[in-house]
Amino acid sequence: MNRNEISDGFRALQLHICSELEALDGNSTFNEDAWERHEGGGGYTRTLMNGKVLEKAGVAFSAVHGPITEAMKNQLGHEGASFFATGVSIVLHPKHPRHPIMHMNVRYFELEDQTFWFGGGIDLTPHFVNFTKAQEFHLSLKRVCDDFHSDFYRKFKEWADKYFYLPHRGESRGVGGIFFDQLDESCGLKKDKLFAFCQELGRLFPKVYADQLKGGHLQAPTKGELNWQALRRGRYVEFNLLHDRGTKFGIYSGGRTESILMSMPPVANWEYNFEPNANSEEQKTLSFLRDFHDYC
Amino acid sequence: MNRNEISDGFRALQLHICSELEALDGNSTFNEDAWERHEGGGGYTRTLMNGKVLEKAGVAFSAVHGPITEAMKNQLGHEGASFFATGVSIVLHPKHPRHPIMHMNVRYFELEDQTFWFGGGIDLTPHFVNFTKAQEFHLSLKRVCDDFHSDFYRKFKEWADKYFYLPHRGESRGVGGIFFDQLDESCGLKKDKLFAFCQELGRLFPKVYADQLKGGHLQAPTKGELNWQALRRGRYVEFNLLHDRGTKFGIYSGGRTESILMSMPPVANWEYNFEPNANSEEQKTLSFLRDFHDYC
């Protein structure tokens, strides 16, 4: 299993996910931008705008290589002269406030001495929390995790709880999911199995998103719902620019800005000291995000 | 000149600026939130929303003290057990895209061994650059600087050029201004003069903003102008969350989130790979921001 097989697999995964999301949206299709990186490699950034369901979706693939910079050393905690990295990352910003934001990232990293690891995560950020839907989401993740390793779900769920958290708000970004990094053969699985795990997560992504959209008939959004969505999108911006490791690493190490910031919502609002009404659904979501939860 | 005289002076400055901005807006007034900091001190955060001219304005005063944390040590590059800090910071987000965003901050910092310094800055971020207006702005700053020290303007203007810059965009945030930090008596001015310099900058702020609003009759904004304003506000968010030292320091050291993030625009947009039309005013502004400029 060499680096080219892995990056080819991730590229195929990107195209598969895009075609599933196009079918789900039923209206808009992805545009593709090919780009090259000065130091080596490049990527394909695919975006869908103003769909019926998806207001802004980004599904990015990249495979890059080159010398390791100081900024990278600090963040990786690894020494080395050169690296290879490939992965797929996705953020979906739906149009309707009753639909959730969803994110995924799977990636592979290799140093010139053949040291390698995988990383990734999937997490769900509803504007309005629905506990049953959150449980379904976690159960789907758990099933895929369990197919590979009995420790994965518990460990990666806890990691996500810590990672997708805004300390300056005392809030989780959403209902969590799974997160893992520097996953290598020391966990007991061989490289091809670890790659298969990442691919399975990728294939799960559009299915899980479709599941999240199922259920009760959707009314046209109210002004209040749209306002709350815009404020929650503001929190999403805060997480990505202040805390998200991938975003910060990309930006500070000179990555392609437009591809990194495709995760930004189309619109975000900030309102000084906004307090939802007592017992409103907005208030319930906020209270929910201030605690940790188990889902399965 | 002790710390209380300085913080009293800054509090008075905050109130003065607010009353000037209320007169300028002619419609809305500031609300005040008093808050206390668990480790010592507190502040008054004043915000004005949905004015005739100002869509969102924040003018914050704080005077805080307590033990120095690890996060602070790293950012300050100073050892010490406890600190005192007081200052005023302002961000104005105007309603009309043809009016500029303007920011100011003046602050005083003291360690328990009486080491002290002042810091601050004023910078102007037009959504549409107007070179003559930028010159007027710089000339006003230069006049105040020159009254105190012949080196200040040149040195602090260059510092602002470096500081108010988005490396990941290759763009200046706006037309610059002045920025200074760790300014102490080694510059040749005594403490009371340095404080007077900060106060003069503060009193200049509302005058300079009023000057920026003068000139030609303002038409109702077009959709295109409003869209561009929202995208430029997105850049403002990026600067504040990715690069602004005050914001990052505040957030990572456990400051009061709502006071720190009052600098956020009410609304911001992101559009993947947005390119203004060739020769449009938007394109001219973008080109302008990609170069350094001298104004006086």
Q: Are B169 and A56 in contact (CB < 8 Å)?
A: no
For B94-108, what is each residue's pLDDT tens digit? 999 999 999 999 999
User: Between 3.40.1500.10, 3.30.420.40, 3.40.50.970, 3.40.50.720, what CATH number should domain B3-289 receive?
Assistant: 3.40.1500.10
Give the integer Cα–Cα distance in Å for A116 and B111: 47
**β-bridge partners, B87:** B62, B107
Reported confidence tier of residue A60, pLDDT bands at 50, 70, 90: very high
- Has residue B217 got a pLDDT over 80? no
> The tokens of A16 are what?
């598969």
Give chain B positions within 8 Å (CB) of A256: none
Residues A260-278, mean pLDDT to the nearest whole number = 97
The minimum CA-CA distance between B133 and chain A, rounded to whole Å, is 29
Across chain B, what does the average pLDDT equal? 95
- Residue B245 has a CB neighbour count (10 Å cut-off) of 12
Region A68-73: what's the mean pLDDT?
78
Q: Does the pLDDT value for residue A75 go beyond 80?
A: no
d(C-alpha A296, C-alpha A178), whole Å = 13
Q: What is the mean pLDDT of residues B62-72?
A: 86
Q: Hey, are the CB atoms on A272 and B49 less than 8 Å from each other?
A: yes
Q: Beta-strand (E) ranges in chain A?
A: 31-36, 41-49, 54-67, 82-94, 101-111, 116-125, 165-166, 171-172, 177-183, 267-269
Q: What is the pLDDT at residue A252?
A: 85
Q: What is the pLDDT of residue A41?
A: 95
CB contact (8 A) between residue B273 and residue A265? no
In this prediction, residue B69 carries a pLDDT of 79
Catalytic pick from B93, B96, B99, B103?
B103
Q: Do B272 and A168 touch (CB under 8 A)?
A: no
Amino acid at B133: K
A261 chain-B contacts, CB cut-off 8 A:
238, 270
- The answer to whether the beta carbons of residues A144 and A204 sit under 8 Å apart is yes
Q: What is the pLDDT of residue B189?
A: 98
B232-253 per-position pLDDT tens digit: 999 999 999 999 998 988 898 8
Domain spans in chain B, listed from the N-terminal domain onward: 3-289
B77 has pLDDT over 80: no
pLDDT-above-70 percentage for chain A: 98
What ipTM was estimated for this complex? 0.94
- pLDDT, tens digit (0-9, with 9 covering 90-100), for A208-264: 999 999 987 789 999 999 999 999 999 999 999 999 998 988 898 888 999 999 999
pLDDT band for position B215 (50/70/90)?
confident
**The pLDDT value given to residue B71:** 72
pLDDT at A93: 98
Here the tokens at position A221 are 């959004």
pLDDT of residue A161: 97
Q: A263 near A241, Cβ under 8 Å?
A: no
In a mutational test of the B interface, the residue from A35, A168, A269 whose CB has the highest number of chain B CBs within 10 Å is A168
pLDDT of residue A69: 79
Mean pLDDT is lowest, of A66-70, B126-130, B201-205, for A66-70
pLDDT score, position A70:
78
Residue among A258, A266, A273 whose CB faces B273 most closely: A258
Q: Would you state the structure tokens that stand for residue A197, as one six-digit string?
A: 């795990």
Chains A & B: contacts with CB separation below 8 Å: 74
Which of A33, A257, A268 is opposite residue B168, by nearest beta carbon? A257
Q: What is the CA radius of gyration of chain A?
A: 19
How much is the average pLDDT of A44-54?
A: 97
From CA B205, how far away is CA A78, in angstroms rounded?
48
Tell if the pTM clears 0.90, that is, is over it.
yes
Helix (H) or strand (E) holding A1: none
The percent of residues above 90 in pLDDT, for chain B, comes to 88
Q: Which residue has the tokens 């099933």?
A: A143
Type and span of the H or E element at A219:
none
**pLDDT greater than 80 at residue B74:** no
* pLDDT (tens digit per residue) in B16-51: 999 999 999 999 999 999 999 988 999 999 999 999
Average pLDDT over residues B77-82: 77
User: Residue A95 above 80 pLDDT?
Assistant: yes
Supply the pLDDT for residue B22. Answer: 98
Q: What is the mean pLDDT of residues B195-209?
A: 98
Confidence of residue B271 (pLDDT cuts 50, 70, 90): very high
Least confident of A29-33, A65-69, A160-164, B285-289: A65-69
10 Å Cβ neighbour count for A182? 14
Neighbours of B70 (CB within 10 A): 8
Contact A49 B258 (CB under 8 A): no
Pairwise CB contact (< 8 Å): B272 & A49: yes
State residue A72's pLDDT score: 75
What integer pLDDT is reported at residue A88 of this predicted model?
A: 98
Q: Which of A238, A242, A269 sits opposite B267 (nearest CB)?
A: A269
Of residues A47, A262, A272, nearest to B47 (C-beta): A272
Calculate mean pLDDT across residues B124-128: 98
**CA distance linking residue A171 with residue A156, whole number of Å:** 19
Q: What pLDDT is attached to residue A80?
A: 76
